[in-house]
Structure 1
Amino acid sequence: MPTSVPLILASASPRRKQLLTEAGYTIEVDPSDIDEPEPTPGTLAVDYVALLAWRKASAVARRRGNGLVLAADTACAVEGEILNKPEDRADAERMIRLQEGRDTKVLTGICLYRAERDEWVGAVEISVVRFRVLDNAERHAFLDSNRWAGKAGAYGVQDSDPFVSVARGSFTNVVGLPMERLTALLQNFPNLTR
């Protein structure tokens, strides 16, 4: 059940906005616009997404001074390698080939930050996505479509891409915002919504 308190979404993601709106949340979009550096070697994906979500939320909270800020960061992980948004077509192809025929993790860090009290809570949700092997024609058609642009791991499960499916965990997490986890955070930390 959505909170009656409006959420300030620290993201320009149309997918996150759509998920929240469809679930009945009142939101205001205010992207954090922070730098999102690539992870350093050895960084765990769970730590990476948690830190970026907190950095986004705290940046918007400091700028605004009041309100309940929601931030999220999503990345994919394959055998310890973190896959963010591809830089170009070649990078998208590298990511797709790396994931083909495997189960890969999708991690989303979320952070709720009450600006006026400087209080926050965060969590990381992990889902598993199954990738089938593509033939060359399928792979090139997908890359030519540019549907990979701006998406962690170079794909979007919400686009009904036929080569990927959610094997375990939250579908909305793979889209970019684990709605079940958000609901649990809001219920478990009601002081944030007062």
Structure 2
Amino acid sequence: MYSDTGCSPLYLASASPRRSALLTQVGIVHQQFGCSIDESVLAGEAAEHYVARVTRAKAVAGQAQVPHGAVVLAADTVVVVDGRILGKPLDEGHAATMLRALSGRVHRVMTAVAVASAERMKVVRVDTQVFFRPIEEPEITAYWATGEPADKAGGYAIQGLGAVFVSAIEGSYSAVVGLPLPETVQLLAEYGIGYWQGLEAENASGSSQA
């Protein structure tokens, strides 16, 4: 449901330009900063537990950097195939191994979102099935050379050049990019953060200059 109560400041505890762009896309005014935490996978840890745990840790780290009581949004995205978490590639060989594992198959992308204030924290997770067509070895080499896979979970970006590998998805596109928008909007509304903020004023300004 639409909320116009968005007067509280929102802080995005993520250096991801993609997450910031998604919030801006739907008119959610925010300030962005990065926060560093240990993102190591624990021995025997399931992907579902990992992505929620890391997201909570990011939110807590973010709270330490903002005014007391401010609303903080954090998120984490993982690619999972055969029960294995595929993080960001360490080097070209690692990226190639991951893309070979995804080639011609379906994998799962999990994105967890946390919204926290001084009183509470709430976390939701959205899973999406992503289908890849078969990828040729020369494509893997050429894709790495573009520089895009280096900082992407699973070694690809669905919103970028890696879109050519994706034959279909079942679920949320924005969650694969890094932030499931419908679920995020609903969470933020519970904390008094609205969407479409400032867009009417922006449109009015544009009309007056036409």
TM norm structure 1: 0.91
The answer (yes or no) to whether the contact 1:45–1:82 under 8 Å persists in 2 is yes
Match of 1:53 in 2: 55
1:91 to 86, 90, 94: 94
- Offset, 1:35: 2.3
- Offset, 1:17: 0.5
Aligned-residue Cα RMSD (Å) equals 1.6
The answer (yes or no) to whether the contact 1:68–1:193 under 8 Å persists in 2 is no
The answer (yes or no) to whether the contact 2:132–2:168 under 8 Å persists in 1 is no
2:38 is aligned with 1:32: no
Match of 2:125 in 1: 124
CA 93–34 in structure 1, closer or farther in 2 if over 3 Å, else same: same
1:17 to 15, 20, 29: 20
2:150 is aligned with 1:149: yes
Q: CA-to-partner distance for each residue in 1:57-94, whole Å, 9 max, x for gaps?
A: 01111332221000000000001000111111111111
Map 1:59-70 → 2, pairs under 5 A: 59-64=61-66, 65-70=68-73
The answer (yes or no) to whether the contact 1:95–1:153 under 8 Å persists in 2 is yes
2:84 is aligned with 1:72: no
Match of 1:168 in 2: 170
Output the amino acid matched with 1:12. A
The answer (yes or no) to whether the contact 1:6–1:25 under 8 Å persists in 2 is no
Q: Secondary structure at the match of 1:66?
A: coil
CA distance in structure 2 between the partners assigned to 1:133 and 1:166 by the alignment = 13
CA distance in structure 2 between the partners assigned to 1:51 and 1:153 by the alignment = 19
Output the amino acid matched with 2:16. S
CA 97–41 in structure 1, closer or farther in 2 if over 3 Å, else same: farther
Output the amino acid matched with 1:8. Y
Of 63-72 and 13-22, more deviation after overlay is shown by 63-72
Q: Secondary structure at the match of 1:95?
A: helix
Q: Secondary structure at the match of 1:43?
A: coil
The answer (yes or no) to whether the contact 1:85–1:149 under 8 Å persists in 2 is yes
CA 146–109 in structure 1, closer or farther in 2 if over 3 Å, else same: same
Q: CA-to-partner distance for each residue in 1:148-171, whole Å, 9 max, x for gaps?
A: 011000000000421124420000
Q: Secondary structure at the match of 1:158?
A: coil
Structure possessing the higher radius of gyration over alpha carbons: 2
Match of 2:197 in 1: none
1:186 to 164, 175, 188: 188
CA distance in structure 2 between the partners assigned to 1:40 and 1:33 by the alignment = 17
CA distance in structure 1 between the partners assigned to 2:140 and 2:87 by the alignment = 19
Q: Which runs of 5+ in 1 are unaligned?
A: none
Specify which structure has the bigger relative contact order, considering alpha-carbon pairs within 8 angstroms and separated by 6 or more residues. 2
Output the amino acid matched with 2:82. E
